[in-house]
Amino acid sequence: MDKTTVFTLNDVSFSYGNVPVLKHLSLEIIKSRFYGIVGPNGCGKTTMLDLMAGIREPQQGTIAYKGKNLKEYGKRELAKNIALVPQDFYINFPFTVEEIIFMGRHPYIPRFGSPSPEDVEIVKHTMELMEIEEFSDKYVTELSGGEKQRVVFARAFAQDTPVLILDEGTSNMDIRHTLKVLNITKSSVKSGHKTVIAAMHDLNLAAEFCDYLIFMKEGRIISQGHIDDVLTEDNIRKVFEVEAKVYFDSFSGARHVVFRTNERARGLSGRIGSGEEKLKGRKSLQ
C-alpha cells in the first residue's frame, strides 16, 4: 500500500483575534484514505480544514502539502490540488447550475480563454455522476437547500483535485443523495484518485465511509487512528460527553453507534408517572 504523506501539520496553532481555536496540532494525512474529523461544535474542525485548504495561514507551526510548505504554492496551483466543499452554500446571483459547475474548472481555464473540450467533458461527466444534469439550466438561486448542496459538491468534484476537503458537505442532502455522493467519493478514494478529509457530524455515516477518524475537542486532537481502533464508547464520551454504545452492525458492515438520551432513560423507569404529568399539563393550559 502506498503510504505517501499528503499533509503534515506540525505544531499548528491558530486564533481569531485573541481567541485560540487550534492549539498545537500535529497530524499526518496519508494518500488515498478517507479521513473523518469529528468533534463538538466550535472545536476547530472548520478552521483546521481552512488551514489545509490554504484559505488561512497558521499563526504558529507549519503545514506541508506533499513535503512542501503550503505557503510556497501559488493559489492557482493549490486550487488544482485541493478542492473544498464549504458548510455554507449561499449563492447570491442567478447563475445556472451548469455555470456553477464550470466555475470548478476556473483554475484550469486561462484568464481570457474559454473552456477546453476537456473542461466541457469533465463538467458533463460530473453532472451525470451527481445526477444534476436534469436541472443543469435552472437558476441555482431557485434550488432547494439539498439540491444546491449537490451542485456545490459537484462543483468541487469538477475541480478534479487529488485532495477533497468536505466541511459538512452533505448536511442538507436527503439520505439517498448523501449515500450516493459519499459512495462516489469513497470509490474515488479506493481507486487511488483522491484523498478525502471530511468534517462530519453523523458518527454512523463517518463509521460507514471513513477509514480513519480524528477526534477533536477544544482545538486539540484527542484521538486519531483507524476507525476500528478509535470509534469507541470511551472516545465518544470523552469528546461529546454523551453515553453511547458501539457495536459491529452486520447489515451495514461497519461499526454502529447508538445513543441513550437522558429523557428515555428516565422514561423507562417512570413510565406510570408520565401520563399524569401530561394530564396536569393539559389542565394548566385550560
Partner 1 sequence: MKNTRLAGAVPWLQLILFIMLLAFITISAGMGYIRISFAEVLKIVLSKITGNSNLLNGLDNVFPYVVLEVRLPRILTSAIVGAGLSLAGVVFQGILLNPLADPYTLGISAGAAFGASIALLFNFSMLSIYTTPLFAFLGAIATLIAVLLISSFDRQTSSNNLILAGIIVAAILSAGVSFIKYVADEQVAIIIFWLMGSFASKTWTDVLLTMVFVSLGASICFFFARDLNVMSLGDRSASSLGIATNRVRIILLVTASLITASCVSVSGIIGFVGLVVPHLMRFLTGPDNKTLLPASALMGAILLLIADTITRAVLPAEIPIGVLTALIGGPFFCFIFRKHRMMRAYG
Write out the residues near partner 1 by the rule CB under 8 A. Answer: 17, 50, 53-55, 75-80, 82-84, 86, 88-96, 99-100, 103-104, 106-107, 109, 111, 137, 139, 142, 152, 155-156, 159, 165
CA angle (126, 162, 156) in 5-degree steps: 40
Q: 120-151 burial, b if ≥16 CB within 10 A, otherwise e?
A: eebbeebbebbebbebbebebeebeeebbbbb
Nearer to partner 1 among residue 156 and residue 227 (C-beta): 156
**Inter-residue contact 107 to 79 (CB < 8 Å):** yes
Nearer to partner 1 among residue 165 and residue 203 (C-beta): 165
Nearest distance from C-beta of residue 165 to partner 1, angstroms: 8
Nearer to partner 1 among residue 50 and residue 119 (C-beta): 50
Q: Count the residues in the chain.
A: 286
Nearest distance from C-beta of residue 72 to partner 1, angstroms: 15
Strands 82-85 and 163-167: parallel
Cβ neighbours of residue 195 under 8 Å, at least 6 residues apart? Answer: 6, 29, 30, 31, 32, 33, 35, 162, 163, 164, 189
Nearest distance from C-beta of residue 204 to partner 1, angstroms: 27
Nearer to partner 1 among residue 142 and residue 229 (C-beta): 142
Nearer to partner 1 among residue 141 and residue 252 (C-beta): 141
Nearest distance from C-beta of residue 94 to partner 1, angstroms: 6
Cβ neighbours of residue 114 under 8 Å, at least 6 residues apart? Answer: none
Nearer to partner 1 among residue 2 and residue 88 (C-beta): 88
Of 225, 182, 188, 208, nearest in space to 85 by CA = 182
Nearest distance from C-beta of residue 15 to partner 1, angstroms: 11
Nearer to partner 1 among residue 53 and residue 203 (C-beta): 53
Nearest distance from C-beta of residue 66 to partner 1, angstroms: 17
| Cell reading at 67 | 513535503
Measured CA to CA, the distance from residue 212 to residue 135 in angstroms comes to 35
Measured CA to CA, the distance from residue 178 to residue 169 in angstroms comes to 9
Nearest distance from C-beta of residue 103 to partner 1, angstroms: 5
Measured CA to CA, the distance from residue 115 to residue 246 in angstroms comes to 49
